[in-house]
Amino acid sequence: MPGPILVVPAIEQGRGGGHLLRSARLVRDLRLKKREALLCLPPGERDTGASLARIRSFTGEFSRQWICLHDSIPADPAMIVLDRFQTPPEEFDLLRKIAPLIGIDEGGPCRERFDFLIDILPVLPSVCAPNMVKASLLPLPLCRRESFFSRNNAAGRRILVSFGAEDAAGLGDLAAESLSGIDAEIVTARNIPNLREELASFDLLVTHFGITAFEALHARLPVLLVSPTPYHEALSKAAGFTSAGHYARSPFWDRLRPHGISRLPSLAGDEAAPALAAECRALAEKYGLEELPSQSLADLLLSFDIHAPALCPLCAAETAVKKIRFTGRSYTCCPRCGVIYMSRLNPPPIEYGQAYFFEQYRNQYGRTYLEEFPELKETARRRISVIKKFLHAAGTGTKPSLLDIGCAYGPLLAAAKEEGFSPLGIDPAPEAVAWIGRELGIPARQGFFPGDFPQEILRDNSFDVVSLMYVIEHLSDPGKVLREIHRILKPGGVLAFSTPSYSGVSGRKSLKAFLEKSPADHWTVWSPRLCRKALARCGFRVKKIVVTGHHPERFPLFGPFCRGRGILYRFILLISRLFRLGDTFECFSVKEAL
């Protein structure tokens, strides 16, 4: 069974009650779905009784057994969900050593460092992009109005004024006083039980940017905002809401330029109502709040099977750098060795069966793997010639042993056999392994290296050559595999691999676009520049790097004019080779003592 899910809320004064309420509901929903979950109180919070009373005032029933303190976290949690508004760096560093971190609407200095970011509420365009934005993950109201244009009471409009459980800026009373002159019933909400289910009984909500505003959109209740801070005002504008502005607490400023509270009566009046209703209906459609939600936040978390390394999988360095994010995956560039490695919310949906080498291969390259076998074998023959030079320099015998990890249908095995090697292959695709034995007469095993080999085969110093052609990027723990390869290689033995390069023209043009197109099962992305230092940590000395995969048509500006193989194509190809701008490369290194 996976470990518990920990949810850490913001409970500091001035943060309102929204973060605590959402976190408590999430823990309750997870436990109702038979998943172990705990509300983890942040550092410094010792009075669990007061916190529990506050939680129960928001959510109703909530057990003390569902709460743990920050210094008594249970062993091996599956993930830690932080709804802290802005997690302090020292708290982040401590929790990151325990489990993968998922930030919910997180800002502050640690936002870029989270393994995964889920923004339920949209953020400013200038802020580090999340993995997903999904307002429909809110615990949305069941009670809804007929439409944004409907009236609940023929006797007159009802306006709800709600600025959260704390209303630290004191806007609730100010807004209600400002609206007192218009023809409507004004209700100021203070700790209304189950407030979101009461929204549908009103005709207008006056609030600040936050959870309640989006709940109101789902309830088809028009929303008008007033901002307690300039940051709230910027969020309101970026999201598309109508806002009366930032209340600056300055009567002098209000006289110069009416804004904030003073603009409320004109924006909330009957004349403005139809336009405001139409705007809010468009916002509900934009954020997926017009339809009933298909998935709750608890359901989303339960769907995750997270792989998020705490340390670099190649050099084991602790990393605290900006990530590039896409839905379901994040990329981190290790500041020490330079490898880019991937974290995933769920395993890649790829199986290395027959379809991988036929339908999928044809879709990418235009031909199946076997149709391209002759060309692949010629490329393998060139690689074998390079390997032989380094084996000759090491004084290896006349029939060197070669292990090809991820051998596919065996083009390198075939070339190696013809060049006098004693080859052995391993690949997870059973059809490929069977074809190698039947058509090439070369031994090959079905499975993964090293776990599916008998120990007697993988003895210390047992192979002259180990190759991984477009395989190393598929390894989630390449450092461990390279150390195992070092063990089984003879002194002076050769490690040869090929892999995509993020320092080629595609990666240089746009690293984000390059990673977005990276296959779902490429756990690491390499560059020729990182190989010498990174491989030295695993006991290898790089002897030769060949940059391959030159594509003039991918160059900015000139690429669209490089169709065919005319003069411009050949010129850009020369530039690509001269400056090593190919999108793939081959690395040849020899074993040295660690």
Share of the chain above pLDDT 90, in %: 67
- 398-419 average pLDDT score: 95
Residue 70 contacts residue 9 (beta carbons within 8 Å): no
Whose CA is closest to 351, among 262, 448, 218, 463? 448
**pLDDT at position 365:** 84
- Summarised one tens digit per residue, pLDDT across range 232-253 is 999 999 999 999 988 766 555 4
Q: How far apart are CA 209 and CA 122, in angstroms?
A: 10
- Summarised one tens digit per residue, pLDDT across range 412-467 is 999 999 999 999 999 999 999 999 999 999 999 999 999 999 888 999 999 999 99
Contacts of residues 58-61 at CB distance under 8 Å and 24 or more positions apart, as own/partner, are 58/17, 58/20, 58/21, 58/24, 58/165, 59/21, 59/24, 59/25, 59/28
**Tokens 């477009």 appear where?**
470
CB-count burial class (<10 Å; 0-12, 13-18, 19+) for 328: middle
**pLDDT at position 256:** 43
**pLDDT at position 44:** 66
- 14-39 average pLDDT score: 86
- Summarised one tens digit per residue, pLDDT across range 541-553 is 999 999 999 999 9
**pLDDT at position 211:** 87
- 5-13 average pLDDT score: 87
Q: Is 302 helix (H, G, I), strand (E, B) or coil?
A: helix
The residue with greater pLDDT, 400 or 229, is 400
Whose CA is closest to 295, among 31, 29, 55? 29
- Summarised one tens digit per residue, pLDDT across range 486-497 is 999 999 999 999
- 259-284 average pLDDT score: 90
- Which amino acid is it at 46? R
Q: Is the pLDDT of residue 293 over 70?
A: yes
**pLDDT at position 30:** 95
Which domains, from first to last, does the chain contain?
Answer: 5-137 (3.40.50.2000), 157-286 (3.40.50.2000), 354-591 (3.40.50.150)
Q: Is 382 helix (H, G, I), strand (E, B) or coil?
A: helix
**pLDDT at position 70:** 76
- Summarised one tens digit per residue, pLDDT across range 128-171 is 899 999 999 988 999 999 999 998 777 789 999 998 767 777 88
Least confident of 105-109, 181-185, 249-253, 529-533: 249-253
Q: How far apart are CA 71 and CA 64, in angstroms?
A: 16
- 396-423 average pLDDT score: 93
**pLDDT at position 508:** 96
User: C-alpha dihedral over 418, 419, 420, 424, to 10 degrees?
Assistant: -70
Please report, for residues 55, 57, 63, 547, 594, the alpha-carbon distance to residue 68 in angstroms, rounded to integers and kept in the order given: 14, 19, 11, 54, 45
| Mode of pairing for the β-strands spanning 329-333 and 323-326 | antiparallel
Please report, for residues 21, 414, 568, the alpha-carbon distance to residue 550 in angstroms, rounded to integers and kept in the order given: 55, 26, 14
Whose CA is closest to 228, among 243, 242, 210, 248? 248
- Band (pLDDT 50/70/90 cuts) for residue 60 is low
Q: Is the pLDDT of residue 392 over 80?
A: no
Angle, CA 133 vertex, CA 241 and CA 303 arms, to 5°: 145
Q: pTM of the prediction?
A: 0.86
Mean pLDDT of all residues in the chain? 90
Q: Is 161 helix (H, G, I), strand (E, B) or coil?
A: strand
Least confident of 20-34, 58-72, 290-304: 58-72
